Amino acid sequence: MHRDPVLDVRDLSIRFRGQPIDLIDTVSFSIERGKTLCLVGESGCGKSVTSLAIMGLLPKRAATVTQGAVRFDGDDLLTLPETRIEDLRGNRMAMIFQEPMTSLNPSFTVGHQVAEAVRRHKGCTPAEARDRALEMFRKVRMPAAEKRLDDYPHQMSGGMRQRVMIAMALANDPELLIADEPTTALDVTIQAQILDLMRELQDDTGAALLMITHDLGVVAEIADDVAVMYAGRIVESGPVARIFDEPQHPYTLGLMGSMPAIAGRQGRLLTIPGAVPLPASMPQGCRFASRCPFVQDACHVARPALSDMGGGQQVACRRAPLDTMVGAA
């Protein structure tokens, strides 16, 4: 049965001051309650900018939303007053950032910071807020949870600080959780623990999760759906099984060819030549054209539209469906 999405992003475009084009260009995706969408792509593709726009955290003097809508539970966040956004942020919608040391205040204990997030939105007493912080520390399996409430961020390991960020984000039972590369700075063992923890807590709360990552291993572990972003555009999207089994965009093929578990079938790792184009030199047509092994003359002229490939999969490539898989790239 179809349910209305918790988050519905439609044709979102963002331009930074002094740039000749929209760096985020007509991006669309949606997430239902209890589901996880992974937004995937290289560094510089626009994933984090998109998440900041959703949360209302883009620097207003530097960036402008030129078109589109970001509907959260039916309300367009782009048109709400700042006071309404502040009431939603950290309450019904929350974000986990990539590096907790730059997100946590070094001058306050971690328990105080989680408790303040609760008090800001729930209006409870300091004692009740501290009790909730302790409850969340136990939920995220913080070692010696009660003692850790009075630690400062610098007294904790990277994995512990990330657990604090998850506890803070989930303390008010949000309906939408955005996680921006939450495991990148952690070693593999701790990374697996954090992903397991996020899955478990999402199952408990039914929150919609937007996971931003460049790691397809993380995608395979946690995603229901995938949106592949390149140079500010969604180039392929669909259910995770479809994307992994039948990738159709050359960029998706390149990303998957760089994964040892997949490339191992071909006996070698693949690379994508070149780099994400700078705004001043962004191609007129397909933004991936200069790096694409299947490029045609028409690719440099006109932007390919997202086409329906069936099974919920969409791809923006005039060569789709591709009958040549990872090994040919």
Return the closest-CA partner of residue 28 out of 305, 311, 292, 319.
305
Please say whether the beta carbons of 240 and 220 come within 8 A: yes
Of the pLDDT bands very low, low, confident and very high (cuts 50, 70, 90), residue 325 is very low
Place of tokens 């965009």: 249
Please say whether the beta carbons of 176 and 210 come within 8 A: yes
What mean pLDDT is predicted for residues 267-279? 80
DSSP sequence for 255-298: HHHTSHHHHTTTTS-----S-PPPGGG--SS-TTGGG-TT--GG
What mean pLDDT is predicted for residues 165-176? 93
Please say whether the beta carbons of 51 and 312 come within 8 A: no
pLDDT reading at 294 higher than 60: yes
CA distances from 315 to 40, 41, 231, 251, 256 (A): 14, 15, 15, 11, 16
pLDDT reading at 36 higher than 80: yes
Return the closest-CA partner of residue 31 out of 151, 153, 258, 207.
207
Of the pLDDT bands very low, low, confident and very high (cuts 50, 70, 90), residue 81 is very high
Say how many Å lie between the first and final Cα of the chain, rounded: 39
Place of tokens 């099984």: 241
Of the pLDDT bands very low, low, confident and very high (cuts 50, 70, 90), residue 278 is confident
pLDDT reading at 238 higher than 90: yes
Place of tokens 């952690």: 186
Global confidence as pTM: 0.91
pLDDT tens digits along 7-33: 999 999 999 998 889 999 999 999 999
Of the pLDDT bands very low, low, confident and very high (cuts 50, 70, 90), residue 249 is very high
Lowest mean pLDDT among 18-27, 166-175, 234-243, 273-282: 273-282
DSSP class of residue 147? H
Query: What's the alpha-carbon Rg for the chain, to the nearest Å?
Result: 21
Specify the pLDDT at position 269: 67
Please say whether the beta carbons of 31 and 209 come within 8 A: yes
Please say whether the beta carbons of 95 and 51 come within 8 A: yes
Return the closest-CA partner of residue 59 out of 23, 95, 15, 103.
15
Specify the pLDDT at position 261: 59
In this predicted model, which residue has the larger pLDDT, 188 or 225? 225
Specify the pLDDT at position 217: 85
Place of tokens 């409430």: 149
Partners of 307 in beta bridges: 315
pLDDT tens digits along 298-322: 999 999 999 999 999 999 999 888 6
Of the pLDDT bands very low, low, confident and very high (cuts 50, 70, 90), residue 324 is very low
Percent of the chain with pLDDT over 70: 94
What mean pLDDT is predicted for residues 156-165? 91
Of the pLDDT bands very low, low, confident and very high (cuts 50, 70, 90), residue 265 is low
What is the rounded average pLDDT for all residues in the chain?
Answer: 89
DSSP sequence for 213-262: ES-HHHHHHH-SEEEEEETTEEEEEEEHHHHHHS--SHHHHHHHHTSHHH
Of the pLDDT bands very low, low, confident and very high (cuts 50, 70, 90), residue 103 is confident
Return the closest-CA partner of residue 148 out of 159, 162, 134.
134
Return the closest-CA partner of residue 229 out of 25, 9, 58.
25
Place of tokens 């040549």: 324
Query: Tokens at residue 51, please?
Result: 């998440």
Q: Residue 119 corresponds to which amino acid?
A: R
What mean pLDDT is predicted for residues 106-132? 94
Specify the pLDDT at position 267: 57
CA distance 204 to 190: 21
Phi, psi of 193 (to 5 degrees): -65, -45
What mean pLDDT is predicted for residues 135-141? 93
Of the pLDDT bands very low, low, confident and very high (cuts 50, 70, 90), residue 260 is low
